[in-house]
Amino acid sequence: MPGFELFGNSERKELQDVLDNGVLMRYGFDGMRNGHWKAKALESELQKAFQVNHAQLVSSGTAAVSVALASVGVGAGDEVIMPTFTFVASFEAILMLGAIPVLVDIDDTLTLDPNAVEAEITNKTKAVMVVQMCGSMGDMDALQSICNKHGLLLIEDACQAIGGTYKNKPLGSIGDLGCFSFDFVKTITCGEGGAVITNNEQYHTHADHYSDHGHDHIGNDRGAETHPFMGYNFRISELHAAVGLAQIKRLPEFLSIQKKNFTIIREALSGIPEVTFRTVPEGGEENYGFLNFYLPDLETSRTVASKFKAEGVDACFHYYDNNWHYVRKWQHLSEQKSLFPLPVQVKQGLEQLKGKTFPASDHYIARNLSCLIKLSWSEADVKARADKMVQIIKSCI
């Protein structure tokens, strides 16, 4: 991770096809295309890769979450349970629909704690969104059981975990809908892009129409298409889809490299008694895009993170002090700093964040370091990196 590290001839070929064709929009202009439909081809590849019946490309991972939620009817005043550890896009996508993000604690999987989820369910709860952060998953059986018990939708934000599996099912294919991001720093990149996947035909139809102004996409005359309901513009372009089409075919290659590099570093750190690793639920296999480990306490983690940075061990994140990925620094959310007036239901719903603490999440995030696994490293690079990490950690404990 990320896929841009290994751009090559296949990406160039797909892009050149689009430029030669001259049609950059994914819809319409049938006569000019000469049979080239990059977005459609990528959607077909996504369906095969993730063993689902439907895939809908959109403009970003954030758009994917909003489109997924809108497709199942989440809207004004509905509550969506989400984790304290994620990217800000998670709550942005919920707020955009006039729905209310309800933040709950994580556990040692670094994803939703099922007990914390159940404790926050109200008569306004419509969906539970598990975010498969840093390449791995939560206890999907427990979360699905809770959703079934309470009649809730289970949405998978698998933006950082493409290629991971749970009990032989690809992440993203387990819940009612799954969401992916293909931005510049993801394992599979389009530059900018995302996707919604599902086995539910109605949800897919909704996603297809909603993401393109409500167009029904029936027939081959775009101007004659009808609009069964209102939508917005979350389209991907053919240029972006072309890059993704080349990249998705290389996913097994990327995952193999990530696993090899991940394993070398993990085995090196395993020799340090004070280092423990995130829990991967039984039956799960992460995508190896990040190596996540715990140190004894906050002070040690901060010191190690600082020394990593000073000594050139890059892309190792201590999210406890991160502005974008952990609830501690989301004052703009808790203080409701918006360019426009928020709906009354949202304002009231966000009041619960003021002064609220998340001690269980703090316990895990304070001690966690999350290290990106790059595709471009040579084996010598990885071993040298592992040795340096071990030396630094031992000097701080």
Report d(CA 289, CA 135) in Å as an integer: 5
Tell me, what DSSP letter sits at residue 25? Answer: B
CA-wise closest residue to 366 among 85, 160, 104, 130: 85
Report in angstroms the alpha-carbon separations of 124 from 16, 344, 347, 356.
49, 15, 15, 20
Report the Cα 141 to chain-centroid distance in Å: 19
Q: Which residues contact 138 (CB under 8 A, 6 or more apart)?
A: 107, 109, 111, 112, 114, 130, 132, 281
Burial class from Cβ neighbours inside 10 Å (0-12, 13-18, 19+) for residue 310 reads exposed
Tell whether omega for the bond before 170 is within 30 degrees of 0, i.e. cis.
Answer: no
Phi, psi of 387 (to 5 degrees): -60, -45
Phi, psi of 194 (to 5 degrees): -165, 180
> Residue 217: left (phi > 0), alpha (psi -120 to 50), or beta?
left
Residue 234 CB-half CA count within 13 A:
28
Sheet containing 169-170: give its strands across. 169-170, 165-166, 284-285
How far the first Cα of the chain sits from its last, in Å, is 29
Count Cβ atoms below 10 Å from residue 360 Cβ, excluding itself. 17
Whether the CB-CB separation of 88 and 225 falls below 8 Å is answered with: no
The residue type of 58 is: V
Catalytic (active-site) positions: 186
Report d(CA 304, CA 315) in Å as an integer: 13
